[in-house]
Amino acid sequence: MKLSFNSIIILIFILNLHPSPLYANDTTDLETYIVHVDAPDDELSSSSQSDGLESWYRSFLPTTTASTAVGDRIVYSYNSVFKGFAARLSLQEVRAMESKDGFISAKPETKLSLHTTHSPNFLGLNQNKGFWKNSNYGKGVIIGLLDTGISPNHPSFSDGGMPPPPAKWKGRCEFNGSTSCNNKIIGARYFGKVDGETPIDSSGHGTHTSSTAAGNFVKGANFFGSAKGTASGMAPLAHIAMYRVCSPSCDESQILAAMDAAIDDGVDILSLSLGGFPDHFYADNIAVGAFSAMQKGIFVSCSAGNGGPFRVSLSNTAPWILTVGASTIDRSITATAVLGDNQTFDGQSLFQPRNFPTKMVPLVYPSEFGLPCTSDTLEKADIRGKIAVCQMGAVLRADQGAAVKEAGGAGMILPNLPQYAYMTFPEADSLPATHVSFDAGLKIRDYYLNSNSTSTPMAKILFKGTVIGDGHAPAIAAFSSRGPSEVTPGILKPDILGPGVNILAAWPFSVENKTNTKSTFKIVSGTSMSCPHLSGVAALLRSKHPDWSPAVIKSAMLTTADVVNRGRRPITDEAFNPAEIFATGAGHVNPSRADDPGLVYDIKPEDYVPYLCGLNYTNQEVGLIVQHKVNCSAETSIPEAQLNYPSFSLMINPLRPSSHTYSRTVTNVGEPKSSYVVEIVPPPGFHVVVRPGKLEFSNVHQKLHYNVTFTRPAKASNSSVVQGFLKWNSSKHSVRSPIAVILTEKEF
């Protein structure tokens, strides 16, 4: 396998996580290991035999440990995500454990990282009508979130209009003192030694994601007076179960314990806005836990990561997980830079002074081009009463603003980094300021250089407040991680896009120096924000279609996703170029269309076994994922692209003649009698044939099969990635499957 630069950096980081050999007689050098074992028999593996399972786990520990300090050494025991435990062990103790019957693997845990008034309307969800109303706003569905906790007293988590929890709910409420759960927050637990040992959020991330997924309606929401409106989550009548696992970093053992608990508690949706480095699925414990959840009918939605705009930067790429990338919405908090020659550049800032003078003032670069503004760089510059041009990057924007303000500057213009291009952010600047695009930065520099020799460069900033209607939206967020997946390039990832830029949602405390209010909100960006949007949409679909499997819910979203923006042009990236398929996945979620997809691609849990065997995993590695014994030599192993996924991703050597045929099975969930005709837009230079070219259905839930043959181009393409799609069109439905082809001479 060829290692990319990013892979080398990741490898170095992983090696740094694993210290040198540990010694059993020094408990200060113990490390938490995640241990996978085989259950000795079916009876012991049942959840009713928890005492016997705990005894079985203890038997793997060294005798002195098992008899004396097991309470301190076993951190968590797992049952529902897989059979195994987390324990504080030395390397020698782990090596001794390897010789015991039933031992599968042990590895040190890793620490994973954490990766709205308008977004429901942006997605076509409107109160008292359409899909939102018909789906009962997610009523009866339980969304479990693994995050930093939740602020239970926030009005977004009021249980007004909420029914009691479903009878199946078995969860617990671990708030301290007078705080309690209600019909909105029906469960709240904490794992590990988090701050105060309580599910209450102390950082804000979990409160924000929870309210994005399922916050109740709150009128008058805003942040610094901007983005005003009625805030709500995607599924405002769904129940919330919070599992606090981050403070703010997220220990793998705690994440697994929370997933184990959530499965037993009875959640319908699991939402994880966190992730780590990609790894083979048998070594990726989130993937293993998500598979167990999927087997029990739980839909798992995860953030794609914030490693964009670079390729091969994804997290959470298992095909049984919905991997969510981030997009912009059509709202901006506009601050416009105007130059002395009347050039104008729209940017963003949350600082929107009402009476800021509109007269021109001198424009200065207080330091060398391309450097941020700091107290050091401003020491010898005279910026009093002037607008300073500073540089985004190594120094926080808030710190630069504070430095400019302290030096007497009248305002600040922040040009973007080149890789972020046209994507700007509103922040609570400490003085009049605007964050403008990289292109605007170049033009501002040219103006400054050209006028500096003939006249004084001048500028002003105009504050226009909340502006809705950006025709470029949705566009790919620059930070949104891109594919292809390093682990499984034959599965198109990310799966889909959701709003993740400038999202206003609940926050546990005021950052505006407000007092006597619990109704606090904040605007935040990240794939952490896009993930709960899709978790909420999944809750709406589960409420409307309780018989749909996780794979069917995913298929409904992917095959109905939008591929054009509000200007009816193809979705673009951060530079306003047509976005590559490994940035968009299937496209941008369209909840109303997902409610009625026509045809769906279903995948049963057992269907993943041939796929996993086809990845050349060993019997033990596949068994660790699916939680039962597997014999791959007795299975019909399939290539990745043969999995019944609602998209296609192929790796083809352009120098070798080849033809590849894959089959798909679609299930009719539309009209009983319906006819679909295929439409093909092949990747450039490829020949694509679909047989049969017409599908005739006579019943609901009827299944039909088709084959797709891809023939390589006559000559090598100039592009490393080419894309196309196929659609099945009826009089009412259009069922779209994107096609991605990676042209490579070497193994990925």
Helices and strands per DSSP (H, E), number in the chain? 19, 34
The residue type of 296 is K
Q: Give the residues across from 462 on adjacent strands.
A: 336
Q: Tokens representing 255? A: 């994440």
Computed over its alpha carbons, how large is the radius of gyration of the chain? 27
Specify the DSSP element, H or E, that contains 568: none
Residue holding tokens 């291009």?
A: 421
Per-residue three-class SS string for 167-208 = CCCCCCECCCCCCCCCCCEEEEEECCCCHHHCCECCCCHHHH
With contact defined as beta carbons under 8 Å apart, do 589 and 497 qualify? yes
Beta-carbon contacts of 598 under 8 Å, excluding residues fewer than 6 positions away, are 668, 669, 670, 674, 676, 728, 730, 732, 733, 734, 735
What gap in Å lies between CA 418 and CA 398, rounded to an integer? 20
With contact defined as beta carbons under 8 Å apart, do 592 and 124 qualify? yes
Q: Shortest CA distance to 502 belongs to which of 468, 462, 536?
A: 468
195 is catalytic: no
CA angle 406, 409, 414 (to 5 degrees): 105
What gap in Å lies between CA 445 and CA 447, rounded to an integer? 5
What gap in Å lies between CA 507 and CA 377, rounded to an integer? 35
With contact defined as beta carbons under 8 Å apart, do 555 and 664 qualify? no
Specify the DSSP element, H or E, that contains 669: none
Query: Left, alpha or beta for 370 (phi > 0: left; psi -120 to 50: alpha)?
Result: left
Q: Tokens representing 457? A: 């460069």
Total residue count of the chain as it appears in this document: 748
* Burial environment of residue 73 by CB neighbours within 10 A (0 to 12, 13 to 18, 19 or more): buried
Question: Phi first, then psi: what are they for 301, rounded to 5°?
Answer: -120, 130
Coil, helix or strand at residue 214: helix
Task: Choose, from 36, 77, 115, 147, the residue flagged as catalytic.
Answer: 147
Query: How far does Cα 662 stand from its chain's mean position?
Result: 29
Q: Shortest CA distance to 228 belongs to which of 398, 468, 528, 427?
A: 468
- DSSP string across 324-363: EEEE--SEEEEEEEEETT--EEEEE-S---TT---S-EEE
Q: Tokens representing 280? A: 């083979």
**Packing angle, helices 527-544 and 205-214, rounded to 10:** 30
Beta-carbon contacts of 460 under 8 Å, excluding residues fewer than 6 positions away, are 337, 338, 357, 358, 359, 360, 361, 387
The residue type of 706 is Y
Query: Left, alpha or beta for 567 (phi > 0: left; psi -120 to 50: alpha)?
Result: alpha
**Packing angle, helices 285-295 and 619-626, rounded to 10:** 60
Query: How far does Cα 675 stand from its chain's mean position?
Result: 36
Residue holding tokens 């203890």?
A: 58
Task: Choose, from 118, 205, 545, 733, the residue flagged as catalytic.
Answer: 205
528 is catalytic: yes
55 is catalytic: no
Q: How far is CA 740 from CA 399, 594, 647, in A?
A: 43, 22, 8
The residue type of 334 is T
DSSP label at residue 641:
G
CB atoms within 10 A of CB 580: 19
Q: Tokens representing 387? A: 């607008």
Task: Choose, from 528, 535, 674, 737, the residue flagged as catalytic.
Answer: 528
Catalytic residues: 147, 205, 528
